[in-house]
Each structure stands twice: as structure tokens, then as C-alpha cells.
A and B are shown apart, each in its own frame.
Chain A
Amino acid sequence: MTSSLRFRAAVVSIVLFAAFLGIWHLATRSTGAVGNMSPEYAKLMGLTATQGKSAMPGPLDVGAKLWEHLRQPFYDNGPNDKGLGIQLGYSIARVGLGYFLAVIVAIPLGFLIGMSPLISKALDPFIQVLKPISPLAWMPLALYTIKDSSISAIFVIFICSVWPMLLNTAFGVAAVRKEWINVARTLEVGTVRRAFTVILPAAAPTILTGMRISIGIAWLVIVAAEMLVGGTGIGYFVWNEWNNLSITNVIIAILMIGIVGMLLDQILARFTRMVTFPE
């Protein structure tokens, strides 16, 4: 029964996708020659002006261009022209570094906040003010004070991925069932050991949920950050292709950003399942 459900769902997915491609193709078809132009004049004009080609590329254009990119994802023609694979690599490295720094800061701090009501109350106003600030609002400040654009981008990733992790860790730690802690206390388990053997396993699913939200946000932000600072990365790629008014490449970049974002999310989802336990 389940396999048949899965099969039917797949069929519906494919039909929807095919319909989407079909409508897209029909909507962006060229309308044939427009106006009467002299041949010399037509030579100086683009396809949109001469053949009524839609400014929006069709699925076939995107497919052909995508194939071109996938055939050589790692070429490097100097500072301003690199393959899609290299651009994604830069973005993933930036996200990875900023996110790793956020993990180092957020999880111990979250633990502290969750275990100590005093620190929780004391830090709360700061967290509440800093949390809702849009990551990109930090960008000009970071550029101005850090004076290095690539470190600024990493800083922005750090500052935006730290809050969900911090709050979830604190919440997870604070919500560990009192009985378990009391049992540990009865058995005279020390604070450090209690943190590692009782609280950490109990809070792990919540902590990982926070980490999963954070990586999603980090990946959302990197594109905008790279558009601003430029140089390398998938965000720069989007900006550069937009500069060339190449909507085809912009669509391809959007597709790639979606796929990588999904992969990052899936990796953390798998970790979450690994540490989740039945009660």
C-alpha cells in the first residue's frame, strides 16, 4: 500500500513538473519576426528585438545552459570568471566557517543560559534586541569596522546563525525533565558529568533542531551577502549574471542554491534523527 502511495505521488510530481515545463515553454515562445527592419539594422539588434523572443528564457534555453555549466563546473578563467562548482564551493566554505564559529559560541553559551536562571535573565534583554536584526543590516557596519570583505561575509553568517542555535540550546537544556536531574543528584553525579551524561543527550534533539534552522538561515543570507561584497561565491555569480542581464544563468543559480540548501538541511535532519530517542 505504501509503495503504491509512493508510486502514485511520484507520478503526480512528474506530471506537475511536466505541465510546469510545458506552460513555461509555451509562454516564452518567440512570436516570429516583428516590425520591418533593414537587414543591416537587424544585425545590430538582439533576438528580442528582431524575432520577438521573450525576454524570459524558455526551459530549453535553461536546460542547454545548465548542461554547459555541469560539463565543466570547475574551470577558472581569472578572478571574474569561475565555474559554477567553484562558486558554490566558496559559498559553502564561507557558510561552513561562519556556522562552525556560531556552533562554538552558541552551544556552550546556550548550555550556560539553560542551566543557570540568573545568566538566563541577565542575558535575555541583549538576546531579545540582537535577535531580530536582519543579518544584512550588519553588513555595512562589518565592512566598515572589520575592513575586509570576506571576513565581513563570514561575520554576517556567524551573527545570523548564532541566535536560533543559542535559543534552542537554552530551551532544550532548561526543559530537561526534573526527575532525571533529581535522580542524577541523588546518585551524587557531579555538575560536569551531569551536563554530559544526562542533560546533553536529553537536550540533543532540540539543540540539533536549532542547528538545522541556523544552517537554513545561513544559506539564505550568504547569497545576499556575496551579492554585496562580490568577488566569489554563488551570490556573486547571480549578481554578475544579472549584470549581464542573463536571466538564464540567474535561473540556473537559483536552482543550484535550492539544491545545495536542501542537501545541507537533509544532512542535519539525519543527525537529528540519530540523536532522537523514544521515550
Chain B
Amino acid sequence: MSTFDNPFDPNRRLHAGGCSCGQHVSEAEHQAAQLQVQAAIESEQQRYEGVVASAVMRAMFPQDVARRAFLKSVRAATAAAALSQFFPLKTATEAFAAGGPLEKKDLKVGFIPITCATPIIMAAPMGFYAKNGLNVEVIKTAGWAVIRDKTINKEYDAAHMLSPMPLAITMGAGSNPIPYTMPAVENINGQAITLSIKHKDKRNPKDWKGFKFAVPFDYSMHNYLLRYYLAEHGIDPDADVQIRAVPPPEMVANLRADNIDGFLGPDPMNQRAVFDGAGFIHILTKDIWEGHPCCAFAASKEFVTSMPNTYGALLKSIIEATAYAHKAENRKEIAAAIAPANYLNQPPIVLEQILTGTFADGLGNIVQQPNRVDFDPFPWQSFAVWIMTQMKRWGQIKGDIDYAGIAAQVYLATDAAKLMKEAGLTPPAATTKSFSVMGKTFDPAKPEDYLASFKIRKAS
């Protein structure tokens, strides 16, 4: 007799026709139900097997055409059998499933259509999410503020953000304070200062007084790097020039319409301005700070703690995609994968120039800079400290700041390190490093000294 039967029910069946568990009318029905449960478990396993097999298949035949030709000649079942000959599919499936069950498989990840989002985007068409058992929809979003609101509203599970944004959200600058995390950097370098073609003879920043510049968002590396660059050349970014926040696509149109003199913007907009004959690339941001972070992969603290396995699988996909994007030989293929309307919606030749680093500069030269954009997921906490010094320098945040504490809370370096190891990469042992921006060395242990050393800064 089951404990779930209601003993107060006068209509309860008393005869022994029930099953052994008491929940079914007859033994036959009980067995049928058991079979169903069994089948569900088996189909789960088969699904995992399917995911692993397709990932292996994709890895062996990255070209769709070649894979199709192979499949056509031998049929799918034969192909799977052949694969398992030299790749232990079963073992791989078990190892993969051992990470614990995913709390949620269907995820939505928002992105802004710029090349910085490359790993987040390409992970969808190139199967990195599917490989980790996730069904991720990457959704193009209208702007940084919308992406912030939609992730806070939980319409998105995670999102592409600018690396200063999770810090700003956590500290409550420009929004309500909500604990945010940034477990991976998307790209390093990859931006440029583009000027209107009519300024092609004004290459010295000292001549730029009165210029109007655009950056995509107030809390962005673009804003901080442009201000830094101008200030190092003696131009006060608050007094001598005008800097406005303009959405990236409007940058090119405004440049052509003579509304702005230049911008420090994300690609593809720099290259697009060249492509359309509206501007030229004055300097790549890698020449301001080699290896600076730009965009990031961010999720709320709540998502990280309430769905650890899903978060792990998602982060792993991103890190694997980032590692794949890091390799120069994959860049052409990636450009082709992210060019269609569903993702960046740009002419492939523009994306190819950006990702391969062989590009037209708008002045008639073909430049070779293989590091123009690079992909390195490790969220150095010293990056966060530098960003906070600039936030304070330009008056976005005030008062005493627990630089190291906030950096450690938001930039999840240890998670990234663990998953990088799993993905076969070698993460750095430390979580902070020193670097130099335009020849000036930054010591993450002394942020206030660094801040005090700048002549041009907003009086606070």
C-alpha cells in the first residue's frame, strides 16, 4: 500500500488489483510506466551521445561541403560507426556528462553586432554551444543600455558587454547596483581611432582642438582610451573637444555627413568607414595599449550561483570559441561564419580585413597588423583596477574605492583559469599583471598613485 493513498477516501479501491507501488491500477500499467521512465533516461543518454558525435564530426570535417560529401558516400550510420573506431565516443560521452546535469539547456545570450562579439556569435554557427550540451540563441540587441536592461530583467541569461559595464553595474554607476560578474574577456585590441577623410593631413592630435568625437558608450574602453590618448597629447577631453555617445552604425553616417570629426569605435565600423570612403584609420588602439581588454562576456551573480553547471558549460563554450578565434589560421573561416544577416550583417571582405589584420587604411596603404584584434579570455583583475582608475579620473565614480575587492568580485579570474585548463589552454598563475599604456607603466597595487600622476583629469 502506498503512503500516498488517501486512507480517508471511502471510494478507495481495496482489492489487491493495484500494482506493487500502489500508484497504478494494475501491474501491467505499472510496468508500462516504468518502461516510459527508462526510455526517457535512455533518450537523454542518446542525446548526449548525439551531441558528442556531432561535435567530433564537426571537428573532423570543419568544412560543411566536405562533411556532406563524406556523409553522402557512406550514410550517417556508417559514418558514426567509422568514427567510433578511432574515437572513443562512449568514453567521451561519459566524461562530458559527468559535469553534472545542466539546470537549463535553452539559453538566450544577447550581443551587439560588432566584431568584439566574435566568440559569442561564432560559438552558435560553429557548434561550440552544442558541443557542451547547450541550445543557445544569440540575439542581436539594439544597444548597450538595452542589453543591460534585458540581462537585468532576465530575458537574457548572459550577454556580451563592454568590460567596464559589469564593474559599473556592480558599483551602481549609471544603473541600480546589482552584483555582476565578468568571467571572460571577449577580445583584446580591436578598436581604432578613425578620422574623417578631410582630416587626412591633421595627423598630430595637438591639432584636434574643437573636434567632435564619438564613442559608443560612456562606460566603455573606447571612452577611456580616447580620453587617455587625447590627454597624453595635451588635449583636455572635457574642455578642448566634444565627446558624445553615439551608436556605432551612426558613427559612419555622421562621419560622412560631417557631423563628427572622428570616433574611437568598435569594428566593423572603423573598417566600414574606410570601405565606404568616408574616413581613414588614424591609429589602432593596440598602439595605445597593446593587449587592452575591450568587450566581455558577462552574467549576473545570481545566474552564476543558481545554475553553476549551466554557467560552467556556457563559459566553457565561450572559452573554447575564444581559443579557436585566437588562432590566425581560423580567422577567414570565422569571418565567413559571422558575416550573414543573422549575425553581423556585413560584407565579408570588411570582416576579413579586420580579423586577418591585412587591411586598407583609407589613405591608400595596405597595412599588415596580425594582432589588430586578438582573443584572450583571461579576465586580469588588474584590467578592472585600471578601468576603475579611469572611471574616477573622469568623475564617473567618486570617493574611496576598494579597487582590489571589486576587481576580485567581478572579474572571475579563477573560474576562467579552471575552464581554460579543461579546454587545454595554459592560464596564467597570477590574477594581476603590470602593463603599460602609451609607455606609462601601471602598477595595479598602487591605483591612487597612478591616478594622481595624471596632469589632465576632472577636478573632484
Contacts and interface: CB of A to CB of B under 8 A. Distances in A.
A148 B277 CA distance: 41
A270 B141 CA distance: 39
B252 A44 contact: no
Contacts of A229: 142, 146
A227 B250 CA distance: 14
Nearest to A231: B139
Interface stretch (A173-181, A208-216, A235-243): A235-243
Given A55-B276, A78-B342, A37 B364 contact: yes
Interface string A38-69: 10110111101100000100000000000000
B320 to A, nearest CB: 21
B349 interface: yes
A81 interface: yes
Interface in A79-136: 79-81
Q: Which of B113, B154, B275, B347 has the most CB of A within 10 A?
A: B275
B141 A230 contact: yes
Interface in B185-228: none
Contacts of B342: 77-81
A74 interface: no
A38 B359 CA distance: 13
Nearest to A50: B277
B149 A242 contact: no
A238 to B, nearest CB: 11
A230 B142 contact: yes
Interface in A180-201: none
Interface in B328-368: 340-343, 345-347, 349, 353, 359-360, 364-366
B105 interface: no
B353 A44 contact: yes
Contacts of A45: 274-275, 277, 360
A149 interface: yes
B341 A80 contact: yes
Interface residues of A, number: 36
Contact of A44 (B140, B340, B349): B349
Contacts of A41: 360, 364-366
A36 to B, nearest CB: 9
Given A37-B364, A78-B342, A81-B342, A240 B140 contact: yes
Contacts of A44: 275, 349, 353, 359-360, 366
A48 B141 contact: no
Given A41-B364, A44-B360, A240 B275 contact: no
Contact of B142 (A34, A48, A147, A227): A227
A230 B140 contact: yes
Contacts of A241: 345
B18 interface: no
A268 interface: no
B30 interface: no
Nearest to B110: A230
B58 interface: no
A230 B146 CA distance: 9
Interface string A125-155: 0000000000000000001100111000000
B265 to A, nearest CB: 13
A46 B276 contact: yes
Given A81-B342, A144-B149, A242-B249, A228 B142 contact: yes
Contact of B140 (A46, A80, A148, A228): A80
B32 interface: no
A14 B397 CA distance: 62
Q: Which of B141, B142, B274 has the most CB of A within 10 A?
A: B142
Contacts of A228: 142, 146
B256 interface: yes
A243 B340 contact: no
A262 interface: no
Nearest to A239: B142
Interface in A222-279: 227-231, 236, 239-246
Contacts of B364: 37-38, 41
Interface string B236-260: 0000000000001110110010000
Contacts of A80: 138-140, 341-343
B24 interface: no
A243 B114 CA distance: 10
A66 to B, nearest CB: 16
A240 B345 contact: yes
A77 to B, nearest CB: 5
A243 B345 contact: yes
A246 B272 CA distance: 12
B301 interface: no
A147 B151 CA distance: 10
B156 to A, nearest CB: 10
Given A240-B345, A244-B341, 7 more contacts: A44-B359, A44-B360, A78-B137, A80-B342, A228-B146, A245-B253, A246-B345
27 contacts: A40-B366, A41-B360, A41-B366, A43-B349, A44-B275, A44-B360, A45-B360, A46-B276, A49-B274, A49-B277, A55-B256, A79-B137, A79-B138, A79-B140, A81-B340, A81-B342, A81-B345, A144-B149, A148-B155, A228-B146, A229-B146, A231-B139, A236-B142, A242-B249, A245-B249, A245-B253, A245-B276
Name the 4 nearest CB pairs between A and B, nearest first. Answer: A49-B277, A44-B360, A81-B342, A230-B142
